[in-house]
Amino acid sequence: MIQVVPIKIGEKSATGLRVELPDSPPLVVIIGEKGFLNMEAAERLKVAAATVSGVNTFDDVLQAQIKAATSKAQAMGIKPGMKGTDALRILL
């Protein structure tokens, strides 16, 4: 199953994408206006992205700590250890 939902942070919205995968945790991605959450692709494309781990839901992503961020995301102020919600605010 694929789920696509709007995610509100203040007055701005991001797009949440959750894909059920066989025999593994789901793929959960949140896409903001200025970046998204996939490190390798984002670094190659020179876009802002950050990753979290151990999540199953969009709320889990927002509550989790950032594990890594691309160089562009770091230049925007996204750092490992910050909350997903705070990183998404920057990406919006």
What range defines the domain where residue 30 resides?
2-91
What CATH number corresponds to the domain at position 51?
3.30.1980.10
Torsion of CA 70, 71, 73, 75, to 10 degrees: 170
What is the model's pLDDT at position 42? 76
Q: How many helices (H) and strands (E) does the chain have?
A: 4, 6
Among residues of the chain, what percentage have pLDDT more than 70? 96
Angle value at C-alpha 92, between 37 and 30, nearest 5 degrees: 30
- Element of type H or E holding 63: helix 58-63
**In the chain, how many domains are there?**
1
What is the model's pLDDT at position 35? 67
Q: Where does the pLDDT of residue 43 fall: very low under 50, low under 70, confident under 90, or very high at 90 and above?
A: confident
